[in-house]
Amino acid sequence: MTPGRFGPHPPYVPYVAAHETHTGLVVLVGDRAFKAKKPVLTDFLDFRTLEQRERVCLREVELNSRLSPESYFGVAHLTDPGGGPAEPIVVMRRYRDEDRLASRVGRGPDEAVRTALDAVAAVLARFHRRAERSPEIDAQGEAAAIERRWRDNLVELDRNADTLPAGSVARIGRLVTEFIAGREPLFNRRIEDGLIVDGHGDLLADDIFCGRGEPALLDCLEFDDELRYVDCVDDAAFLAMDLEFMGRKDLGAYFLERYAAHSGVAVPSALAHFYIAYRAVVRAKVDCVRVSQGKSEAAHDAARHLAVAAEHLEIGRVRLALVGGNPGTGKSTVARGLAEGTGAQVISTDDVRRELRDSGAITGDAGVLDRGLYSPDNVAAVYDVALRRAESLLRDGQSVILDGTWRDPQMRAQAHRLAAETHSATVELMCSATTDTAAGRIVTRPAGNSEVTPEIAAALAAEQAGWDTAHRIDTSGAVEDSTRQALAAWRRTS
């Protein structure tokens, strides 16, 4: 190896080891790690020429020095005794395997692992605050750019369909299309808030070392700048996904919580699920490369990564739930329980009605169905405001629960149109209870924004307008049972 500024090699090398990845080879000698690139071509990189490998090695040192300058010494060259061209190699500090985050997660104890993850979150948050931002970088946070990344990954996975579970890629593609199509305001707001950065791009537990001092975050993505221009949450989600893949979903969630705390940046639930899914798909693509290189066991990893992706896309799917039923049937209780279990936001027509009445937007006395405060025009005004508020939340990636009677088929049709326009899934829940149970609840419930009288409740019960598309929930039993039924219907959304 040609001499350079890498310090003297120890006269006695106590141990030597080597590790191979799908794109490189790392040789560990003494207190140094020497990393060479394979002359490979994949769907996402090209290292076939010496010039390309030289350039990417220099870039690797430059980019990783942003996060761990003490870990990267520079680029050296492995000379050929026969006079051939010298091969560029990245020279790095060697870290102990037991300090690798992946090793710590497997070894425990959990308290120590959580302490390490908190430190990693702090380092990443600080890095993101200082990271480069520009219009060019922002462009990669636009919905069109995000859609293009997903499409490229899914196309590459389709080429390996014989390696993957049947239908898995198509299912993921449908959910991704739905999410992106309705969430352009969310992506635009992330750009406006300055949350698209030149990040790490490949944050895995195997490449993080937690010894003395601050964690060392190594091996950022160096071969394609655009793929490194990411939302801060996307960058953090990679490690959350990797921890989940290791069987520690709880630690992934903990890491995102600590990242949010250190960065002061909100991590919207739906967006976190979306980006965890994206990172799982990226790793599935890498697994397929490994399969093509003769590592047949990587097919199992690819299937597991796609399962993680599909699960998070389902959980993070934006939903509009209509929780209806006559007064006293427990719909507000069900709505609250559903919100607690899903993170969705409740919009109550009772609350909207009281707000509009107090502002003078609607007038009239309560007490008679279809008259006064409950006249058709006033009811339409209440539902119109509720739906407009829901629209803003849905486009921002926030699932919504609309709590009202939903007795009017035209109102329900309006809600369905909103769901279609915002590419949100619809959940319809019809709460029911016996007439005596409902009447008793109306009389005994504490004061609130509902101004429904027993007379109105009786008139509504007499109508019994059909709602055949709704999942019926019997609320006569325990609250926990009603909530469980509602959550089951939510998860079954097609």
pLDDT at 155: 96
The H or E element containing residue 209 is strand 208-209
Q: How confident is the model at residue 328 (pLDDT cuts 50, 70, 90)?
A: confident
Q: How confident is the model at residue 382 (pLDDT cuts 50, 70, 90)?
A: very high
Q: Could you tell me the residue ranges of all domains in the chain?
A: 16-93, 97-315, 319-491
Lowest mean pLDDT among 322-331, 341-350, 361-370, 377-386: 361-370
Residue 367 pLDDT > 70, yes or no? no
pLDDT at 450: 57
Q: How confident is the model at residue 448 (pLDDT cuts 50, 70, 90)?
A: low
Alpha-carbon gap, residue 371 to 360, rounded angstroms: 17
- Round the average pLDDT of the chain to a whole number and report it: 91
Which residue would you say has higher pLDDT here, 377 or 16?
377
Alpha-carbon gap, residue 267 to 275, rounded angstroms: 11
Percent of the chain residues topping a pLDDT of 70:
90
Segment 195-218 shows an average pLDDT of 96
Segment 418-427 shows an average pLDDT of 98
pLDDT at 493: 83
- Which residue type sits at 243? L
Extract the tokens encoding 90. Answer: 């990245």
pLDDT at 34: 95
Segment 227-252 shows an average pLDDT of 98
Q: How confident is the model at residue 61 (pLDDT cuts 50, 70, 90)?
A: very high
Smallest Cα–Cα separation from 197: which of 147, 258, 128?
128
Segment 324-351 shows an average pLDDT of 94
- Helical packing angle, 409-421 and 376-395, nearest 10°: 20
Residue 414 pLDDT > 50, yes or no? yes
Extract the tokens encoding 174. Answer: 């449908």
* Identity of the highest mean pLDDT range in 227-241, 285-299, 362-376, 453-467: 227-241
Segment 438-452 shows an average pLDDT of 59
Residue 438 pLDDT > 70, yes or no? no
The CATH number of 16-93 is 3.30.200
Residue 4 pLDDT > 50, yes or no? no
Lowest mean pLDDT among 2-11, 90-99, 120-129: 2-11
Smallest Cα–Cα separation from 429: which of 308, 357, 333?
333
The pTM (predicted TM-score) of the whole model is 0.88
Which residue would you say has higher pLDDT here, 5 or 290?
290
Residue 368 pLDDT > 90, yes or no? no
* Identity of the highest mean pLDDT range in 62-66, 265-269, 438-442: 62-66
Smallest Cα–Cα separation from 232: which of 282, 269, 182, 191?
191
H helices of 193-297, where?
A: 225-228, 232-245, 249-263, 269-292
Residue 447 pLDDT > 60, yes or no? no
Alpha-carbon gap, residue 337 to 127, rounded angstroms: 39
- Which residue type sits at 443? V
Q: Which residues pair with 25 in a beta bridge?
A: 20, 36
pLDDT at 282: 98
pLDDT at 457: 59
* Domain 319-491 homologous superfamily, CATH: P-loop containing nucleotide triphosphate hydrolases (3.40.50.300)
Give the right CATH number for 97-315 from 3.30.70, 3.20.20, 3.40.1000, 3.90.1200. Answer: 3.90.1200
pLDDT at 242: 99
